[in-house]
Structure 1
Amino acid sequence: MTSGSTMARRALGRELKRLREAKRIRQSEGGRIIGVSPQTIGRMEDGLPTKVSDLYINTLCDAYDATAEERRILLELAFEVRATHKAGGGWWRAYADQIREGFDHYMGLEDSARSLSAWRLTLIPGLLQTPEYRRAIAWTETPSAPTEEIEKRLEVLVRRQTRLNDPTFAVDVLLSEMTLRDQIGGVGVMAGQLLKLLEVSELPNVQVRVVPFGTGYLGSRTGSFVLLEFPKLPASGLLEPPVVYVEEYAGDLYLEREAEVKRYREAFAEISRVALDHDTSRQFILSVAKEYGA
């Protein structure tokens, strides 16, 4: 696993913003300092793809009165961003046409994370889906898509799931009973999907638990979400703050403010409290799989 450029860009942008605001310099003024628009400074500070040359970094460091250590860290982060970009970025870049707009950012976050905590009201998370289950979803979302395009999406799914084989990547998934009962693709597809859940839940770094109907839990109000936490960046030693990802039909939401993350962390803990334990969840999943003829 590599931290990739996503984490480095986020850290670089956060540090540049901190230094600029400490000097009470507006984004428009920052842009004039290096000859770019305020929007470009905003993209840089938001960790979005944009040019991060050493000339830009050094010039901004001069204007922001950065210390020698702050300058060193920023230059190392900028180098990491450029090196990863030169190498072609994450593996998913080769499937850009098959990844919906904006999801490549999430892929970078997931690929860099040390832990993932997910709550799902509907649909099994992508990391745990079978190709047949994913294919059924894809045909529902885009019924007119060519078969070869759908199969390319399945290649992304299979590549993405190799992260589960990394013992340092901790995955904790809470599933509403609805995700087991909603017959995506029919009973045969669901039987295979539930057997897949049982298979991956045997991995030492993966935990899958079920929240049965009638529990009266907070998760029905929060909606589905993913909490991602990250290791320190290797070059700078900076610790990336966690991110909450909320996937919505009309667009994705990324929450990074400490208070927002805290609310979702507490919500996950509350939902976890009413979930079945690991072994009982496996028995529950198996019983539903048998209903589907597994």
Structure 2
Amino acid sequence: MEQSVWSFPDSEANEMAGSTLPLRAMGRLLRGHRMHAGKSQLAAGLHIEISPQTLGRMEDGQKIKISTVQIGSLLDFYAIGEPSPERSEILGLWDEVKQEIRVAKRSGSSAGWWRAYSDQYAYHFDQYLALEATACGITVFQLALIPGLLQHPDYRRAMIRIADPELSAVDIERRLELAARRQSMLTERADTVGMKCLLSEAVLGHRPGGREVMAAQCRFLAELTTRPNIALRIVPSDADGHLGLVVQSFTLLEFPPLSSRNLTEPPVVYVEGYEGALYLEHSSVIERHRRAIANIEQVALSESDTKQLFSRFAEEFGT
């Protein structure tokens, strides 16, 4: 996936990076208006003097260099005149984006905090981190590894060394800091963010870092099962055939409605590979992954049995 460089002409906008819910909603609506008007991305981009690729990133909810005047000109091009409810909705969402930026700047909040670690992750992961930061529901299915949000620091350190054995000690620590800050979301936003994790039993058989690391990881997972906003379930190796064997590992991100508008952003399925990642939003794709989740849950252990399994593995690895 193409790397996204997100910026705004306003000086205040440079303080914020990543995708916001109002921006995603605005991009989705603009795409709908463009298609209804029968305009191509090339024509629309030329009209406001940006590339079709840049326009596409905006429609995907990513930040680009664009002004309020250009957005108004784009609406004119789509025959969304003024006054009209459609135009007011788009410009209202744009105002919300800028307001979020101003609030973040005044409060010194950590909007886009992950960009400080941008040299420590693959370019395609920037968009994921932005989506993760605004999600209210995260459902993960993993066949091979413990998901990043649930990794013990020793497990994470071992994975970093496997992926990049020449990495300096300083960069390893920075990657561990990034992982810790991501994990803190599950504690700091426990009342607004829920995570459901379905893990193949095979993830407990892979031992990056050796037995002691896996013992610590299993103890950590057992502790996580006590948190009310985290649900962990193991899919046993002897489970009957299930859709997880076909769909492979993925993450489903869901988002809260915009507080000031009757709009709900569509979920996103994230599929990561060795060379890049896919961000899937089509309703049929989301529905297929929901069916896969329901099917996998039918063969997964209960949460209490999963906790007992973690404890058993921790004891076995520790001996």
Q: Tell me: CA distance 1:205–1:169, structure 2 relative to 1, closer, same or farther (3 Å).
A: same
Q: Structure 1 length normalisation: TM-score?
A: 0.93
Name the CA distance, whole Å, in 2 between partners of 1:110 and 1:277: 26
The answer for unaligned runs of 5 or more in structure 2 is 1-15
What per-residue deviation string (whole Å, max 9, x for no partner) do you get for residues 70-126 of structure 1? 222222332344455674841111111112211011011111111011111011011
Is the 1:76–1:235 Cα contact (8 Å) retained in structure 2?
A: no
Correspondence for 1:205: 229
1:175 to 189, 192, 199: 199
Q: Which residue identity lines up with residue 48 of structure 1 in the other structure?
A: Q
Name the CA distance, whole Å, in 2 between partners of 1:249 and 1:39: 24
Q: Please state whether the residue corresponding to 1:207 is helix, strand or coil.
A: strand
What per-residue deviation string (whole Å, max 9, x for no partner) do you get for residues 30-54 of structure 1? 1232222323322222223212311
Is the 1:5–1:84 Cα contact (8 Å) retained in structure 2?
A: no
Name the CA distance, whole Å, in 1 between partners of 2:121 and 2:262: 31
Is the 1:4–1:84 Cα contact (8 Å) retained in structure 2?
A: no
Name the CA distance, whole Å, in 1 between partners of 2:201 and 2:290: 21
Correspondence for 2:217: 193
Name the CA distance, whole Å, in 1 between partners of 2:42 and 2:245: 43
2:78 to 48, 52, 64: 64
Matched-pair identity in %: 43
Displacement of 1:65 in angstroms is 2.7
Correspondence for 1:285: 310
State the superposition RMSD in angstroms: 2.0
Q: Please state whether the residue corresponding to 1:117 is helix, strand or coil.
A: strand
Q: Tell me: CA distance 1:12–1:27, structure 2 relative to 1, closer, same or farther (3 Å).
A: same
Name the CA distance, whole Å, in 2 between partners of 1:257 and 1:241: 9
2:161 to 130, 139, 152: 139
Q: Please state whether the residue corresponding to 1:154 is helix, strand or coil.
A: helix
> Which piece of structure 1 moves more, 31-40 or 282-291?
31-40
1:15 to 5, 14, 29: 29
Is the 2:18–2:127 Cα contact (8 Å) retained in structure 1?
A: no
Q: Which residue identity lines up with residue 95 of structure 2 in the other structure?
A: F
Name the CA distance, whole Å, in 2 between partners of 1:272 and 1:264: 12
**How many residue pairs get matched?**
293
Name the CA distance, whole Å, in 2 between partners of 1:89 and 1:235: 20
